[in-house]
Amino acid sequence: MNSLSTTFLIVFCALLGSAFSHQCIYCLSTNSTVCNETEVECIGERCMTGSQYYHNDDKVFYSIYKGCANESLCGAMGSMTRDFNVKIRIYASCCTGNKCNTDAFQLPAEDPKPNGVKCPSCYSKGTTKECTSTRPMKCTGSEKQCINYRGTVSNPDGSVEKYSVKSCINYDGCLNNFNCLIKVEEQNRVFLKC
């Protein structure tokens, strides 16, 4: 291969690479709505900002993630509520272009209006045995499905807990479950049904 062909190939590969990669703002904070931003190289042309409110009994975390877009989560607005023990809300917004994910922490406003759906309601911490619902709860806003979950979960602070919960959840929360949460990882699933 002559030097002209080699030069063309290098330029072509550089142009091809620039067409399929770009820069996104990157940061991750598991206990704050702001974080120290840097840059990250991403494949594709989309960036994402994910915001999360995670309340599990005595633990409350506000978390934010900025980085490369996970296309399956773009636009996801997950919500799950179990009276005063458990509330999880997430929102993932995606954008197109270099370092476009400049948004601040944001969660859509909650809709407290009852939607007519009632779900079994219970919560047990420290066990994966099924909790027993003594009364149904009235679901609100977009939470039009019921969830029954038992498992072991790692929280944003790294603590690991077993729990069982029955509550209201919305479609996005049920569809994406642990895939859309920021630093909340499922260690062992015993049961999950929406």
Could you report how far apart the first and last alpha carbons of the chain are, in Å?
A: 60
Res. 9: pLDDT tops 60: no
SS3 for 28-77 is EECCCCCCCCEEEEEECCEEEEEEEEEEECCEEEEEEEEEECCHHHCCCC
| Phi/psi of residue 21, nearest 5 degrees | -140, 155
**Residue 84: predicted pLDDT:** 81
Question: Which residues contact residue 175 at a Cβ distance below 8 angstroms, ignoring those fewer than 6 apart?
Answer: 76
Least confident residue range of 18-32, 71-85, 117-131: 18-32
Torsion sign across C-alpha atoms 176, 181, 183, 189? negative
pLDDT at position 20, please? 60
168-183 confidence digits (pLDDT tens): 999 999 998 888 899 9
- Report the chain's mean pLDDT, rounded to a whole number: 89
The confidence score (pLDDT) of residue 87 equals 94
Report pLDDT digits (tens) over 70-114. 999 999 999 999 988 899 999 999 999 999 999 999 998 889 999
- pLDDT band, residue 7 (cuts 50/70/90): very low
Handedness of CA 128, 133, 139, 144 (dihedral sign): positive
The percent of residues above 90 in pLDDT, for the chain, comes to 78
C-alpha closest to that of 54 among 149, 178, 188, 175? 178
Nearest-angstrom CA–CA distance, 5 and 1: 6
- Decide which of 14 and 69 is more confident: 69
Gap between the Cα atoms of 172 and 182, Å rounded: 15
